Amino acid sequence: MGGGGAWRLGLPRLLVMTFVLFALCGFGVHGRSHIHKKPHGGGWHRGGGTVVSSPAVPPADEQTQPATPPPVGIVPSDLAIPTEPEQCVLEVRAFGAVGDGATDDTEAFRAAWRAACAVDSAVILVPSDVTFTITATTFVGPCKPGLIFQVGMITLLTLFVHVWFILASADRVDGVLMPPDDPDCWPPSDNKRQWFVFSNLNGLTLRCSGTIEGNGEDWWNLPCKPHRLVRFFMSRNLVVEGLRVENSPEFHFRFDGCSDVRVDGLSIRSPANSPNTDGIHVENTERVAIYNSMISNGDDCISIGTGSYDVDIQNVTCGPGHGISIGSLGVHNSQACVANVTVRNAVIRNSDNGLRIKTWQGGMGAVSGISFDTVTMENVRNCIIIDQYYCLDKRCMNQSTAVHVTDVSYTNVRGSYDVRAAPIHFACSDTVPCTNITMSEVELLPFSGELVDDPFCWSAYGLQQTPTIPPIYCLQDGLPDSLLDNPDLKCR
């Protein structure tokens, strides 16, 4: 617990900065927080990480925490664990951060990032049990290897990849990071389309048992609001673990232009009526694993946008919200490509949609290689839906082209549906039908009321491998000639 004396004795900031300089030379700097009359010790610790597989069974309810320890690693393959280097610890309060929930600590965080980014094996330490207010900020790389951005106890740290950003600690009162809590407080010069951005980094881990509070309530009724609470851009080898994120103005997490991403153990929560608060959005990103997470919000639980390849979703509980969605794709006659998406061992509750693929008319490209396996529904409208006529206001013009939806399988999808809509809905294009849809062990019964035994099906081709409840009689055999050798439907 030693090393907090500089704070307890009230020594001048110059002396604290001297400790920081020692840290840059290989010595540890420790801070102690006295917020809420609960002191905290800081320190540094060397440890090793392990790579473990994702659990196979989803959490039973929103109070259940994943039983398997959070895995650490990069998909798709396991990596050897490196030897941990010596660390240099820099505490954000030494750069001027206050942490009283009211003071703008943005410049202190930026200064700490710049200093740490230039030093091998640096640790940016943000103490737990403290609330830091930060305006729109981009943390840009590349950085020296071994950079750690940590909120909480260093002694719980196990090293694995180049950059760690850890919020709070499991045995202490949570730390909180948040934007200004009112639109009027948002600096006029700041980017209002995003808040916390990590860009051009290789090997970033964002980890915490604390909270990122989006303060979105005052934004939800405004026409202009930040679209992304936390964004990862043009980065690779990313790990996001253990975060609690609440009340984003719009998207909670967005990954775009990234590769080799692992998301594990997230808790995302916003009200069911909060607009466009997608939980996790993936776009132009490949080799993504999303595991062991619980998401309740006002829009898609997980949304997969164009340019997404090799996405593995396991052990995720969604609801309320709009379910797990691929799309929307092909807006404004654009080309969209998504391939190799797997959803396994998921639970979807009290949602407007369950498993959804949505595309705009007039688009091009293809959605292919989609597998939904072992998914439980509870009181869900539109449990299984493919909609190639997606339109926000239902006034869209009919167009002759569409994004091709093909090779989609539904296996062991069971549970209950809201009888206000048919549980299975395949609305496919006349000119670009859906093909190779496979149904096996699909059993959906009404949550309450009478059985809806007439699923909607239009221009859909595929087969039932086993009897389905409700039965699907409208799937057509074969492959339409109009889809053969059509260059507009090609992707990779």
Catalytic annotation, pick one of 30, 322, 404, 425: 322
What is the C-alpha to C-alpha distance for residues 116 and 472, in angstroms, rounded to an integer?
Answer: 59
By C-alpha distance, which of 401, 246, 253 is closest to 330?
401
Distance, CA of 24 to chain centre: 33
β-bridge partners, 238:
204, 261
Asked if residue 321 lies in contact with residue 297, where contact means CB atoms within 8 angstroms, the answer is yes
What is the C-alpha to C-alpha distance for residues 423 and 440, in angstroms, rounded to an integer?
Answer: 15
Helix (H) or strand (E) run with residue 437 in it: strand 434-446
Asked if residue 50 lies in contact with residue 80, where contact means CB atoms within 8 angstroms, the answer is no
Provide φ and ψ at 82, rounded to 5°.
Answer: -75, 165
Owner of token pair 């202009």: 224
* The 3-state secondary structure of 10-70, one letter per residue: CCCHHHHHHHHHHHHCCCCCCCCECHHHCCECCCCCCCECCCCCCCCCCCCCCCCCCCCCC
β-pair type (324-329, 424-427): unpaired
What is the C-alpha to C-alpha distance for residues 136 and 114, in angstroms, rounded to an integer?
Answer: 16
Q: Give yes or no: 252 in active site.
A: no
Longest dimension (CA), the chain: 81
First to last CA, the chain: 55
Burial 220-257 (b: 16+ CB within 10 A, else e): beeeebbbbbbbbbebbbbbbbbbbbbbbbbbbbbbbe
Asked if residue 258 lies in contact with residue 281, where contact means CB atoms within 8 angstroms, the answer is no
What is the C-alpha to C-alpha distance for residues 303 and 252, in angstroms, rounded to an integer?
Answer: 11
Annotated catalytic residues are 322
